[in-house]
Structure 1
């Protein structure tokens, strides 16, 4: 029998521990000899990343297949067909060195093939690929050159498996993607870019002969962003966006560039981490691609892109193909990410992992895709109403709603199962996930709505969506909140200090002081140290804009209580900013809480941290919105 109970007080089988268990998932999926391989986050094992082949772990703890290049990390492993048999090279988090082992040995015995750095994590490697002949690992090397967070140098290197000295292949730009050897091993291709550009602003596709110092730029530029490149004989295949959409181009040796299937849709994405693969070759002239995340086949002769008929519609940019079988990680509205293979000839999808199902599907929210009117144009969003088969709210009550702000800000929300969201919706709290101006998936024009408007367009778009839900009676307009982490934490804090739409905000590992988040401010890492110049304006010429928009300078304008969550080892959004914000907030009379987590970097990977953060957030909403959520500790608030 369905019970009538106030929103927020419903009991649910979806616990914070279920959300923690879902906090890992597969990543860096690949194929070798027809068998799927992947890395997998393990929150229950302290957040380590395991390496898996065909469902079997290859390395026991404490091996942690992860690196910190750009602080976000890049592709951390590669399988090599060497003269001595199959070997695996990978980066280990603890020392950041490249190690090699035999995956078929009874007991794996990884051996380092890069020297120990002079300082902790002083040299890092990412975007690992097999060099010609399988005797070397080709990758990006990142070297710390000083004490500032921006003191970093990068180059492309070849690492011999036999321990011989490392060779530098190229060092064309401040930022580089991993080198791709040509089929004959005589040339290499890579993507490079320099400050103040981010990789979705403008990059250059470079080609050079192995052993030569000079290179040639064959695509890209200051307003064109190449995001993936592969060889096809003497030609290059590249995802790039000269017309404003990431499409697949063929680039001939003479530099002629041809769009293989022009579509006003994104077939690529933002290069937040090195090693993404949005396309893979099925056969000459046929390519697996992702159309805004949906798997499709591009036919070069016909100039068409045709979606695949699969029941998991959103795939990650980890495509690999072997003998007509496509693999990746895929998810859907009611399914977490799982490793899948798809037989392109038979049309059969096989799941290789079984994600933990936190509850029956009846407790999971079903996203409603909607488009709202914003001050600068349409705002896409996914609405997740409360859903629990055991409860309904009183007829005279509207549910509280929380706006979820994705990170980036050059990122996006997608309609796939997020157990964090289900944790709230199954208890009677609605969530709406907003793709505000600046989000990816809608072309360069939409993405650049945010240029010099961060803290304005994102704030206004989120507020417009929240207000529309209240005006139509979907949400209780007096019980609206906002939540986000990283850049989403910025928008949450900026919203709480500039509009009166929300009663409260959850702010996780945020940017709070724009001036500190510049290269000269010293409070962020090298990769994003000039990101804000495109988002806010040139520094220091636009200093007043930096000061005026920063939540750190607007604590006196807070619209209501805030909960801050912060990892103490975060190098992207270090704790200094949250520390200062809370110090300014103490004694103001505004209820707030500040939880810090030892051993966590940017985003929480440990099960205990994820559980504590979610339960604190639920208690926080209960205290602000006026309900008592059962079964969670009461979060102490201070003023």
Structure 2
């Protein structure tokens, strides 16, 4: 804080985080890939209604949009998508195979020429994800999700440039990560069946691909028979395959080698970090095999990301910015990644630990004069909660170089309950945090029991306890920062999206710590969710709550809609009219039961807000709501 800071009450600080900055000018960067000395990534652009564009930087440093303006790269497999594209080089010309979110179908583009390999179809409607080029020929492997009457059916398929499909694997409820070995001899993938989720128990298989008939040999199950989550297969060479498995208690790399006609497995030494992410979306990467036999990994310790390298004997930490994905190698040996430090917007980065790195293509350009004093950085907190265990959170103090609170004032607190609930509070720069801290609020982003990044036992601590343990941890987190004299206990609010919305409403019903709450497309009726939600999450609640309808009484007890009479503070509901994950009816039913509530619907939005107008309106509406409730005039 500098000597020129103006003393102003919380909620009245002149913020540098304008709604238009967040909504209309912030591009989402994801799914970084490399080929040769090209760097590729996916951009979602709010000013283009969230349109997905594959972008590449060529070796000469020039940045190119590589998918045509009439396309929208994305997938609706599992509703959450991911892995909707892959790229390879023909000489120095990128070729891209991709799924179109709006038109559907499987498409191919090279040098500006667009070709439809597979139309979406109508009955059944086919969706595609986890697209991977075949190293042999002009074709791809991918996951196909077919929607007709009844439950969606999944398969792994091979598609050539003529649009000819070959179903390679089917029968399981879900498939992911079809990955051919570099020589095209093997294909690996993982799968799971209801009622499991990909973070509870999966099966990793590998099989020989008979090229003459395009059929797979007998699959060999890697990883053994003990139930565990084994995900993210990645080839180092045609006889060495890595995956990450939580058989040891947290996600950690395991290596499989084809030796003497058999696959042998070796767990790598403990990296003292969790290396793996919950498979909500396709094509997440936390490991990169290197040509020298080393392995790069993205590890999570105490809620923070670390880059690690295994040299065949020991792990070492690399000082390499703040990647959100594991760095990928270029042909010249440099590494590229999406860099998301707490003090700057995400950007593409390229470089090496020993020589430093360059950041470019920032997701947003900050206003002139903004420094580190204007940006709140996360402070990891651990605090006691119920049953003698500890929970975790990231605390952000209010931050603005030109403003300070009155000497006798403590900041109001915005508590955040992340979605999932199998997910985590991300420590990277986020406007959802800076929006509040730049206005004089403190933020507590809670990694309640059930969050990832802390091992399997912590993740499973929410089993049977959703709506209980997560709420207890949010309340314990508030008490912890109050006891440390960091916030004003009379001015605490809580917000959460999707599964976090249930935590918000349950916390309001079960405590008097909060003056208000906001549910963004949040769950309010667990029975309706069990009956109406999409295939991917249809049995998710079996573990979090209990099997339905056998445990219907528990579903009723935990549903915020049946706890509505216990909520006396104002609640704001923000929901998409086209939400297929948590239907709008959930918010409508809850809103009618509350005396002090407001519901605003964004008719064309789904589960999460993508357009700039919706993002801007939701932020300003929520701020006005808290200013009124907390009397921040």
Task: Find out whether 1:271 has 2:279 as its counterpart.
Answer: yes
Shift in Å at residue 60 of structure 1? 4.1
Aligned to 1:178: 177
For residue 461 of structure 2, give the secondary structure of its aligned residue in structure 1: helix
Aligned residue among 229, 232, 249 for 1:228:
232
Residue pair 2:234, 2:287 contacting (<8 A) in 1 also: no
Shift in Å at residue 82 of structure 1? 5.9
Aligned to 1:637: none
Task: Find out whether 1:365 has 2:369 as its counterpart.
Answer: no
Shift in Å at residue 369 of structure 1? 1.7
Aligned to 1:535: 544
When the two structures are superposed, what TM-score results if normalisation uses the length of structure 2? Answer: 0.92
**1:5-48 deviation digits (Å, cap 9, x = unpaired):** 22111111211112224653211110122110111010111111
**1:328-362 deviation digits (Å, cap 9, x = unpaired):** 21211112221112336x53312231232434023
Measure the CA separation in 2 of the matches of 1:172 and 1:487.
29
For residue 14 of structure 1, give the secondary structure of its aligned residue in structure 2: coil
Task: Find out whether 1:215 has 2:219 as its counterpart.
Answer: yes
Measure the CA separation in 2 of the matches of 1:124 and 1:261.
39
Q: 1:437 to 1:116 in 2, by over 3 A?
A: closer
**Number of aligned pairs?**
608
1:293-332 to 2 correspondence within 5 Å? 293-300=305-312, 302=313, 304-310=314-320, 312-317=321-326, 319-332=328-341
Aligned to 1:635: none
Shift in Å at residue 567 of structure 1? 1.0
Aligned to 1:632: none
Aligned residue among 104, 107, 121 for 1:117:
121
Residue pair 1:399, 1:476 contacting (<8 A) in 2 also: yes
Task: Find out whether 1:420 has 2:428 as its counterpart.
Answer: no
Aligned residue among 385, 389, 400 for 1:374:
385
Measure the CA separation in 1 of the matches of 2:208 and 2:421.
37
Measure the CA separation in 1 of the matches of 2:328 and 2:598.
42
| Larger deviation, residues 609-618 vs 56-65 | 56-65
1:98-109 to 2 correspondence within 5 Å? 98-102=106-110, 105=111, 108-109=112-113
Measure the CA separation in 2 of the matches of 1:128 and 1:206.
18
| Larger deviation, residues 603-612 vs 592-601 | 592-601
1:36-435 to 2 correspondence within 5 Å? 36-54=39-57, 55-81=63-89, 86-102=94-110, 105=111, 108-119=112-123, 122-146=125-149, 151-163=151-163, 165-210=164-209, 211-212=215-216, 214-219=218-223, 223-231=227-235, 232-253=237-258, 254-292=262-300, 293-300=305-312, 302=313, 304-310=314-320, 312-317=321-326, 319-343=328-352, 346-359=354-367, 360-361=370-371, 362-376=373-387, 377-435=389-447
Shift in Å at residue 289 of structure 1? 0.7
Aligned to 2:16: 13
Task: Find out whether 1:507 has 2:511 as its counterpart.
Answer: no
Residue pair 1:226, 1:241 contacting (<8 A) in 2 also: yes
Residue pair 2:192, 2:203 contacting (<8 A) in 1 also: yes
Measure the CA separation in 1 of the matches of 2:517 and 2:34.
43
Measure the CA separation in 1 of the matches of 2:392 and 2:34.
35
Measure the CA separation in 2 of the matches of 1:466 and 1:582.
26
Aligned residue among 556, 560, 582 for 2:565:
556
For residue 132 of structure 1, give the secondary structure of its aligned residue in structure 2: coil
Residue pair 1:514, 1:547 contacting (<8 A) in 2 also: yes
Question: How large is the Cα RMSD of the aligned pairs?
Answer: 2.0
Structure 1 unpaired stretches of 5+: 629-639
Measure the CA separation in 2 of the matches of 1:389 and 1:62.
43
Structure 2 unpaired stretches of 5+: 58-62, 210-214
Q: 1:323 to 1:282 in 2, by over 3 A?
A: farther
For residue 399 of structure 2, give the secondary structure of its aligned residue in structure 1: coil
Residue pair 1:278, 1:319 contacting (<8 A) in 2 also: no
Measure the CA separation in 2 of the matches of 1:264 and 1:296.
10
